[in-house]
Structure 1
Amino acid sequence: MKTVSTPSSQLGTDVNRSGELEVFVLVADLGSFSEAARKRDVSPSAVSKIVARLEARLGVQLLQRSTRHLQLTAEGQKLYDNGKRVLADLNELEALVTARNKPSGVVRINASTATGQRLLIPLVPKLMETYPDLVLDLSFTDYVVDLIEARADIAIRWGRLPSSDNVARLLGHTRQLIVGAPEYLTRMGRPKRPEDLERFVRIGWNYPRAVPHWPLCDKKQNTEDKRKIHISMGQTLRVNDGEAMRHLAIQGAGLARLSLYHAWDDLKAGRLEAVLEDYNAGDLEPIHALYVGKPGHLPLRTRAVLDYLKEHVDLKHAESFPKEFLKRK
């Protein structure tokens, strides 16, 4: 995080309140007095004294210290979360006053592996060209991260969102469909009805929040309850990575339920084919950019990246299934 700079020579008894706060946030970010001191080019004892003075002034313990690591107390976590926003506001105020209101500094973005490769990475070159003073720190994980714990400014996630204090900005939707490799479908016989799926390997997810079934719909039934069909994902093959699931389907290891956005190129090239589209429930999976904090209090750099994603992520083609993809029967 870029914060209001405190010169090394001022890291003594004359550090003001914002300077104390900046040093504390830096220690919390790096998890070490020594690393914070190295960053500031001062001694660890100088950094330790500033944090101790801050604790004495507030009358609370902010850090649990041990020989191996530092851990924030409840009061420390509260000061850290709010202190980062205060320092970001000071940065923006300084930038406005000095006419340096260009997004700059580090923006940490977390996404699933598949989303990172297919959606985020293609946008990065133009994003860096648009905002040359930004430093992008990208990480890819297929589980839902705690933004504060992962020190991420933005997380991009598909599907249902767990309850949290995060703010979600909708980027778009994509249709879901069941797909398989042509050779696999020829060998096994193309399924005609949902019950036919029982003889197929149904590649599933192995992380806790995953929905354990594939939702299908029998549109010929006259009541909503009868229309709904739930096909459980098989236990034979499970993964925690969307790209792994896609590649397994292409190699003929089983059927997979993927987003149309994810499978688009493979469907177009004939590496995958959709099955049971007459029973597709038509559900659209949303994709969100998640962040912590109120929209009006975001650092300029984070807001710039969020606005860029909202403007340039285009999923309209992935909301409905093209008829030409159904030509293979």
Structure 2
Amino acid sequence: MAVFVQVVERGGFSAAGRALRMTPSAVSKLISRLEARLDVRLLNRSTRKLQLTAEGSAFYDRATSVLADLDEAERAASAGERPAGRVRLNTSASFGTHVLGPVLAQFFEAYPDISIDLVHTDAVIDLLGERTDVAIRSGALKSSGLFARKLGATPMLIVGSPAYLARHGTPTTIAELEQHNRLGFSYSRQVDGWPLLDSGDTVLMIPNGNVQANSGEALRLLAINGVGLTRMASYTVTADIAAGRLVPLLQHCDTGYLEEVHAVYLGQGGHLPARVRVLLDFLAEHARVS
């Protein structure tokens, strides 16, 4: 069972073998024996990749729960042994810079035996395919097999630098905003435009400026440097507004939309490795957004 989980999470027999210090052929034989015992095919094998069957996916979910229970039992029986191991955490650069970075030292003080493999990307990833324990996602969650801990919700602000506004003027109406360089994301989002109130109706302003970026932090820095206007989560620009680097705009046109932020993960909440569980608890307490 443990070998099967390693094969799934590491994407192949060779990678699982390296992790377990076994040969790929030995790993393959164990999986074949497991399939023969269960009388089902768990994995479809090809020259390029492995793919879980429906039965394999269900068995993986149960197997991870069973193994997590064993891990928890061993931890509880080891006289208060501290959580240890590596956690792979995926987050946007904005959340990593403005929320996670300032509190990580506190986490490591509490859990010195845990290490974090931190990956920054604004794109939505496949947690299983990317072998990720926890991912931070913004926006409403779609229905999926993932579990989530809500980390709060944040307003969205249109902002620009004083230098940009001095050159191009400060928009006070939606019509004036249409004449400005609006910087946006280069990938598809749940709402690809900027929702704004116009005489009680919601209109969608498309950010079709001369730069599109795949990172919120890139857009923030472009705005600070006077390239154009952008729309950002409040927590990412609060310090910039306080310092005068950015100016909030058209707040009277705000729809009141709040973008939710969640920590998402695979597996039942009660069947998580201790290293993952304590990170989720820490994030829920110390990495909230508003």
Aligned match for 1:116, one of 96, 105, 113: 96
Displacement after TM superposition at 1:200 (Å): 0.3
Displacement after TM superposition at 1:242 (Å): 0.1
Displacement after TM superposition at 1:68 (Å): 4.6
Aligned pairs for 1:228-267 within 5 A: 228-234=202-208, 236-267=210-241
Aligned pairs for 1:39-58 within 5 A: 39-58=19-38
The alignment covers a number of residue pairs equal to 290
- Cα contact 1:85–1:299 (8 A) shared by 2: no
Displacement after TM superposition at 1:206 (Å): 2.3
Displacement after TM superposition at 1:168 (Å): 2.2
From the superposition, tell whether residues 302 and 217 of structure 1 become closer, same or farther in structure 2 (CA, over 3 Å).
same
**Cα-to-partner distance string for 1:63-92 (whole Å, 9 max, x where unaligned):** 333445433333223322321221111110
Aligned match for 2:163, one of 177, 183, 207: 183
Distance 2:111 2:120 in 1: 22
Corresponding position: 1:292 with 2:270: no
From the superposition, tell whether residues 34 and 146 of structure 1 become closer, same or farther in structure 2 (CA, over 3 Å).
closer
Aligned match for 1:202, one of 159, 182, 185: 182
From the superposition, tell whether residues 191 and 56 of structure 1 become closer, same or farther in structure 2 (CA, over 3 Å).
same
- Cα contact 2:157–2:232 (8 A) shared by 1: yes
287-296 vs 38-47, which moves further: 38-47
- Cα contact 1:166–1:291 (8 A) shared by 2: yes
- Cα contact 1:202–1:254 (8 A) shared by 2: yes
**Cα-to-partner distance string for 1:187-246 (whole Å, 9 max, x where unaligned):** 11111211101110111222223413212235xx5xxxx343432322543222101111
Corresponding position: 1:102 with 2:76: no
Distance 2:18 2:212 in 1: 45
From the superposition, tell whether residues 259 and 45 of structure 1 become closer, same or farther in structure 2 (CA, over 3 Å).
closer
Corresponding position: 1:137 with 2:111: no
1:311: which partner in 2? 285
303-312 vs 227-236, which moves further: 227-236
Once the two structures are aligned, what percentage of the paired residues are identical? 47
What letter matches 1:94 in structure 2? E
What letter matches 1:294 in structure 2? Q
- Cα contact 2:90–2:134 (8 A) shared by 1: yes
What letter matches 1:297 in structure 2? H
> Secondary structure at the residue paired with 2:178?
helix
Distance 1:45 1:166 in 2: 32
Structure 1, unmatched stretches of 5+, are 1-20, 320-329
From the superposition, tell whether residues 184 and 29 of structure 1 become closer, same or farther in structure 2 (CA, over 3 Å).
same
Aligned match for 2:151, one of 171, 193, 204: 171
- Cα contact 1:92–1:101 (8 A) shared by 2: no
**Cα-to-partner distance string for 1:74-113 (whole Å, 9 max, x where unaligned):** 3223322321221111110122223345322222211112
Displacement after TM superposition at 1:156 (Å): 0.9
Aligned match for 1:156, one of 136, 161, 165: 136
1:193: which partner in 2? 173
Displacement after TM superposition at 1:263 (Å): 0.8
From the superposition, tell whether residues 284 and 43 of structure 1 become closer, same or farther in structure 2 (CA, over 3 Å).
closer
**Cα-to-partner distance string for 1:27-83 (whole Å, 9 max, x where unaligned):** 233333334334333443333322221111111222333445433333223322321
Aligned match for 2:51, one of 59, 68, 71: 71
Distance 2:195 2:253 in 1: 9
Displacement after TM superposition at 1:122 (Å): 2.2
- Cα contact 2:10–2:131 (8 A) shared by 1: no
From the superposition, tell whether residues 313 and 66 of structure 1 become closer, same or farther in structure 2 (CA, over 3 Å).
closer
Quick one: higher RCO (CA 8 Å, sep 6+), 1 or 2?
A: 2
From the superposition, tell whether residues 95 and 314 of structure 1 become closer, same or farther in structure 2 (CA, over 3 Å).
closer
2:126: which partner in 1? 146
